[in-house]
Amino acid sequence: MSSTVVSLIQALASGLLVGGVYGLFSIGFSLAFGVMRIVNFAHGELVMLGMYAAYSVYLLTGADPLLAIPIVGIFLTVVGAGLYLVVYERFVGKATLQQLLVAIAISMVIQIILQMIYGPETRGVQSVLGSQYLIYGPFFFSYGQIAAFIVAVICVGVLELLLQKTRWGKLIRAVADDPEAAEIVGANSRAINTVAFAVSCCLAGIAGCVLIIYYPVNPGTGMALMPIALIATVIGGLGSIKGAFLGGIICAIVQQLTSTFWSPALQDVPLYVLLLVFLAFFPFGLLGRKTAH
C-alpha cells in the first residue's frame, strides 16, 4: 500500500471514530432545536460541564469516565430540566437574537463557575483506554476513541428508538410538529419540552464523559466545541437527529483529511466553507424536513 493510501484510510477511519462523538453532542443540540426551536448556543458549555463532571468523578474515585456516564448523565438531566424551567421556557417562540443572547449569558455563567472551581489549566484523566492503541498493520486507533464511538452509536440508536416507538417519544415529535395541536389533544407541552431539553442536556453530559477520555478540558473547550455542533446540525438538516449524527461524522472526516493532507492548523477551514455552502444552497441539509413549521 502506498503511504498516501494508508494516510487516506487512517484519516477516514479516525474521522469516523471522532465523528461519532461529534455526532453525539450534535444530536442534543439538534433535539432542542427540532422540538422547541431553541438555538441553544450554550450546548458546548453543557458538554464541557459533562467533561468537568466526569473529571471530578475521576479525581474523587479514580473511576474511568466511561463508568461515570450514569451519574454524569443524571446530573446533566437535572441541570437541563432546571435550565429549561427557570430560563429557556421564557424564550421559546421568541426571536432568535433573544435566544442567542440568553444562551451566551448562560455559557458565560457556566464558564466562569467552572473557571472558579478548576482554574484556567487544562485538565485530563489517565484513562486506561485513552492511552492504549489498537494497532492493525499500518493503522492505529485509540481504544478511547473506539469506546467513545461505540457509546455514541448506542446513544443515537436508543434515542431514535425512544422517539419512534414510545409514547413519550411520539409526544415529543408531536410537539415538535405543532405544539398548539399537541396541547389540544391533551399533551402537556411544558412537561414534554422539559423532558426533551433534559434529554438534550443528558446527551451533552454523556458526550462530555466520552470526550474527556482522550480530549483534555479547560474553560475554553465549550466554545471550541460549539461551532462543530452547529455545522454538523446544518449539514445534517436542522432538527433531524440522524442528520446531526451524520453531520458530525462528516465534520470529523473533513477535519482529519484536511489535517492529514494539508495542515492540522487549517483543519476547521473547510468546515466553515461547508457551513456557508449548506446555508446558501441546501438550507434543509442532508436529512432535514421541508415540512417543518
Report the candidate in 264, 177, 269 with the shortest Cα–Cα distance to residue 231. 269
Q: Which amino acid is at 109?
A: V
140 CA to centre of own chain: 25
Size of the site for other proteins (CB under 8 A): 20
CB of 94 to other proteins, least distance (A): 17
**Is 126 a binder of other proteins (CB under 8 A)?**
no
- The verdict on 265 binding other proteins (CB under 8 A) reads no
Encode burial over 30-42: b for 16+ CB neighbours within 10 A, e otherwise.
Answer: bbbbbbbbbbbbb
Q: Does residue 291 touch other proteins according to CB under 8 A?
A: yes
**Which residue lies nearer to other proteins by CB, 183 or 268?**
183
Of 100 and 170, the one with the shorter C-beta distance to other proteins is 170
Q: How far is the CB of 289 from other proteins (least distance, A)?
A: 6
Three-class secondary structure of residue 217 per DSSP: strand
Residue closer to other proteins (CB basis): 146 or 287: 287
d(CA 243, CA 114): 31
Q: From the CB of 48, what's the least distance to other proteins, in Å?
A: 32
Q: Which of 204, 189, 208 is nearest to 159 (CA)?
A: 204
Tell me which of 113, 160, 162, 170 binds other proteins, using CB under 8 A. Answer: 170
In the complex with other proteins, which residue's Cβ is closer, 185 or 265? 185
Cβ proximity to other proteins, 121 vs 167, nearer residue? 167
All residues at 6 or more sequence positions from 9 whose CB lies less than 8 Å from its CB, including other chains: 139
Bridge partner list, 140: 135
Distance in Å, CB of 191 to other proteins, minimum? 9
Beta-strand (E) ranges in the chain? Answer: 133-136, 139-142
Q: How far is the CB of 169 from other proteins (least distance, A)?
A: 10
Residue 73 sits at the vertex; the CA angle it makes with 82 and 127, to the nearest 5 degrees, is: 140
Residues numbered 171-200 forming contacts with other proteins, rule: CB under 8 A: 171, 173-174, 176-178, 180-189
* Site of grid cell 433573544: 98
Which residues would be at the binding site for other proteins (CB under 8 A)? 167, 170-171, 173-174, 176-178, 180-189, 289, 291
